Amino acid sequence: MSTQLRLDALRGSGVIAKPHNARTIAALTRNPGCTRRAVMDAAGVDKDKTAAATGHPASIGKLSPLAVARGQGFEARVKSQGGAELLRLLRENLGLPIPQAHYLDLGGDDDSVIGGRYLRSRSALAASADSGPDAGTLFDHPMLRLQIAGVWVYLEPDMVAFRLEDKFYIIEIKSFAIVDGVADPGDVTRAAIQSSVYVLALRNLLADAGHDPNLVADQVILVCPKDFSNQPTAHFVDVRKQLTVLRRQLARMADIDRLLDSLPDGVTFDLAPDAHGLPTRSAADLAHALRSVEARYAPECLSACELALFCRHDAHDAHSTAALGRTVREELGGVDCTSTAVALGTGTLVPTDDLVQAAETLRAAHALRTAILGQLA
């Protein structure tokens, strides 16, 4: 059976693959060791519907209408007047020597010509690469693409790519605030990961056009509201680390056959929808199929994966140390169960050779806890 047929079987007969976007591609990097997520994403399984069918619905990535409107309004302000406000930011906030720049909107509403839009974007960006170091141009909504598990995924980012001297820069516009020069670390991390998707896609586009992909800077320009106003400000963000993780995960998904070979025969995540699109497969049967594929749960999954609540429920039921976070799990070495950790810490279980160091750490922690509780009594 071909790879595509195997992926179709995982998703379910007649079910259209859920397309990727920059956010979902970025989310792949949050837990690159999770086989469950890798195969489901490669197959285009709708994890949101799958999670709901198991009784553990998720709400990540769902913004309120007010938040969506605020984000769209802020982006429109930044891009207004042919990018005049954006040019001011680049000059005043980042000190970039930009007297003026051309503005080119590569957007479009017709998805039926998405491949043609990619070729048009490639032509425009390649022409800029050929035109010399002083050809400053703002490219609004270029069409980019990345290959995910052998399938081309087209990306229409809400961003602007800019050519300054010998580099292209990705400009990512976000609506979270930067207060006194500092933004929420989680928001910045998510923006950096998503921006790295655009950087890699733009590098692929230039390489496809016969140019050096390193013309694209590994720093992106993050534009956000300043303090508690709607006035924009701009900062550089380094995405080299995120690029490394992204490349590694895409390479892993390119070798999807190896992951598929590890799955039990006949496993599928088909929800068996009825004529109205409602799932008819039992939650228990679907959960059994999911559990047959190895997962790697961590609390960080709660902000990145639709199946996180299902996986957390399983981790808690199994008394898995994974539910305590990656840092704790790494400190505990090969201790996978919290009951084992308690037994080692209290001395009621003799450690095997590979758990001696973890047992010493746990006994020290137990002694410290006992001493503190004794002082409080």
Per-position pLDDT tens, the chain of length 377: 788 889 999 998 788 888 888 888 888 888 878 999 989 998 889 999 999 999 999 877 677 788 888 888 998 898 888 888 888 888 877 777 666 677 888 876 555 577 788 888 899 888 888 876 655 678 888 899 998 877 788 888 777 777 776 788 999 999 999 998 899 998 999 999 999 999 999 999 999 999 999 999 999 999 999 998 889 999 999 999 999 999 988 888 778 888 899 999 999 999 999 888 899 999 999 999 999 999 999 898 988 899 999 999 999 999 998 888 888 888 887 788 999 999 999 999 999 988 888 899 899 989 999 999 888 76
pLDDT score of 133: 61
Quickly list DSSP for 166-198. TEEEEEEE--S-BBTTB--HHHHHHHHHHHHHH
pLDDT score of 134: 57
pLDDT score of 99: 64
- What ranges do the domains of the chain cover? 65-248, 327-376
- Pairing between strand 167-173 and 219-225? parallel
How far apart CA 159 and CA 51 sit, in angstroms, is 31
How far apart CA 215 and CA 312 sit, in angstroms, is 42
| Residue 139 CB-density burial (10 A; 0-12 exposed, 13-18 middle, 19+ buried) | buried
Q: Kindly report the pTM of this predicted structure.
A: 0.80
How far apart CA 193 and CA 31 sit, in angstroms, is 12
**CA-to-CA dists, residue 212 to 35, 167, 168, 170, 264, angstroms:** 33, 11, 11, 16, 43
Coil vs helix vs strand at 15: coil
**What is the CATH number assigned to the segment(s) 65-248?**
3.90.320
